[in-house]
Structure 1
């Protein structure tokens, strides 16, 4: 196995010079650095992470906690975080965090405490005060994605404002008979995403002085969830709306599939809008509010690494609210004018 001494010998420099050149700590000339790097590459020498940690005080490793891995939004954020960390020379350890349970406690009390991370990124997890305090005691810088966390820099969209904008788009087209199909209010995601998107819908409807009784139906935030609810709601022409605001693109896609099976034309007989910017939105010509999960993941990494150099006070909370953008496609249009019989 090659050692730093072998690298130094091949590059004709002292061991201390070779170490400085490979660690980036301390001055060496560019010509010397290139010679040392070339020598290390020639003999296959790789800097030991443990040795580098002793020199820099950094482990070049970040812990990531996340509630879901298979769901689209979380998978997109996670992939973006990993790419951004690799670009900066960092490794990542992932913890699929369950809801309140002994298993969750062990992640904080054992794994995050035992492993030496430079920092932690929390994706879509509403941390308790005790969990935040525990990470602060461990001197672990923390960045969150999805909603406000006390004393932590967080990155999120404004779910209420985004849902209101989606509903207002339908209203601007002339729709008055609008439904919202979203997540179950008794089975909230962290940061109350379901209720925030319902609140935005209700605010837009109330501002337009429109009734909201029986204007909300709950389902899973999945394509099958939207499809099943679509078959149920759209199958009865007596209660069929002219437009639906879906809390996610996956629900919206399921609704469009159900409408097609029922012979309902989208958008001339039914307009559908979602939230997310799912890659399938283009295929289904879905009008949506894009929330750019990959941007959120990359910003979280940049924020965390900046915090390593200039730590923020533990009692300082900062929220970065990212704008969503309306992408208009052919799933929304003005409602069809009613037929007039002579």
Structure 2
């Protein structure tokens, strides 16, 4: 197996130059970098992770913290982040915080304290003051996705604006009887997303001169099954049936489409349905949605982290960045029935 000395000899440079060229840390001329790359390729040289860590003080590993691994949104963010980190030569340590309080404390009190990571990305996690304090005590760059964390660079979605846009789309089509399926109390713990989205929905209605109706609101668990059962309740009474449903997630909106079909309703002739997310199945179901591109969020979080890990090498990114979103109109929404 070739050594760093072999690469240095073949390239005609010092071992220090080889180390800087292959790690990307430190100044190296373009000509020397090319010589080192060609020599390493010719010798099938692979950088020793342990030696690199000792030399640079870095592990080339990033901790990725998520509240769930069973939901499409979170796995999509993780996928985008993992692919971007791999392109930068970083490994990933995944921390799933969906367990008990004791397990969550173990992650902060033990696993993170080992400092086998160069940085941390948190996804849709609202940290307690104590957890924020322990995060800062690690003295490692951190990036948050999905909501503000004190003293941490964040990517944040304006949930009020997103739900207002979704509701405004239905209003523009002429709907006045618009129901909303939001998240249950269990899902209001992380950044109050269900509360914010309901607030945006109600604000858009009031701006149009329509007072929200309590019977047009239902909660679910952000799953297809949850959306299905909630829609059955909203659509089951023909005397108080809405003409449109706005669900707080695409998965719940897909459940609404299935419930409507089981009740003999035609989408969108009898009922218009839309969601939020940009789920991979939304196009298949013809679902109108406000896409927030979760995979791109993971990639953007890595861009921010890289700018913190290697200042000057990567473009500067604003301290708190809004997440882009886009209304995508498909066949699940149309004008209300006459």
Q: Distance in 1 between matches of 2:206 and 2:70?
A: 36
Higher mean alpha-carbon deviation, 203-212 vs 23-32, is at: 23-32
Q: Output aligned runs, 1:1-342, within 5 Å.
A: 1-11=1-11, 14-25=14-25, 30-98=30-98, 101-185=101-185, 187-211=187-211, 212-310=213-311, 318-337=319-338
Deviations 1:312-335 (A, max 9, x none): xxxxx9421223211111111111
Deviations 1:258-310 (A, max 9, x none): 11122111112111111111111111111111111122111111111111234
Does the 8 A contact of 2:216 with 2:234 survive in 1?
no
Q: Distance in 2 between matches of 1:161 and 1:257?
A: 27
Does the 8 A contact of 1:69 with 1:96 survive in 2?
yes
Q: Distance in 1 between matches of 2:264 and 2:243?
A: 14
Q: Distance in 2 between matches of 1:4 and 1:213?
A: 70
Does the 8 A contact of 2:244 with 2:271 survive in 1?
yes
Q: Distance in 2 between matches of 1:280 and 1:250?
A: 9
Q: Which residue of 2 aligns with 1:340?
A: none
Q: Structure 1 174/17 Cα, relative in aligned 2: closer, same or farther at 3 Å?
A: closer
Q: Distance in 2 between matches of 1:325 and 1:10?
A: 52
Q: Distance in 2 between matches of 1:256 and 1:87?
A: 39
Structure 1 stretches lacking a partner, 5+ long = 312-316, 338-342
Does the 8 A contact of 1:226 with 1:255 survive in 2?
yes
Deviation at 1:48, TM superposition (A): 1.5
Deviation at 1:37, TM superposition (A): 3.3
Normalising by structure 1, we get a TM-score of 0.89
Does the 8 A contact of 2:115 with 2:138 survive in 1?
no
Does the 8 A contact of 1:182 with 1:194 survive in 2?
yes
Q: Distance in 2 between matches of 1:26 and 1:166?
A: 48
Does the 8 A contact of 1:156 with 1:296 survive in 2?
no
Q: Distance in 1 between matches of 2:333 and 2:67?
A: 33
Does the 8 A contact of 1:181 with 1:218 survive in 2?
yes
Residue 214 of structure 1 aligns to a residue in which SS? helix
Q: Distance in 1 between matches of 2:174 and 2:49?
A: 61
Report the RMSD for the aligned CA atoms in angstroms: 2.3
Deviation at 1:219, TM superposition (A): 1.4
Structure 2 stretches lacking a partner, 5+ long = 313-317
Deviations 1:226-256 (A, max 9, x none): 1122223222212211111111111111111
Residue 156 of structure 2 aligns to a residue in which SS? strand
Residue 218 of structure 1 aligns to a residue in which SS? strand
Does the 8 A contact of 1:21 with 1:36 survive in 2?
yes
Q: Distance in 2 between matches of 1:117 and 1:320?
A: 24
Larger radius of gyration: 1
Deviation at 1:10, TM superposition (A): 4.6
Q: Distance in 2 between matches of 1:333 and 1:68?
A: 34
Q: Distance in 1 between matches of 2:15 and 2:209?
A: 77
Normalising by structure 2, we get a TM-score of 0.90
Does the 8 A contact of 1:230 with 1:255 survive in 2?
yes
Deviations 1:74-98 (A, max 9, x none): 1111010011111111111111013
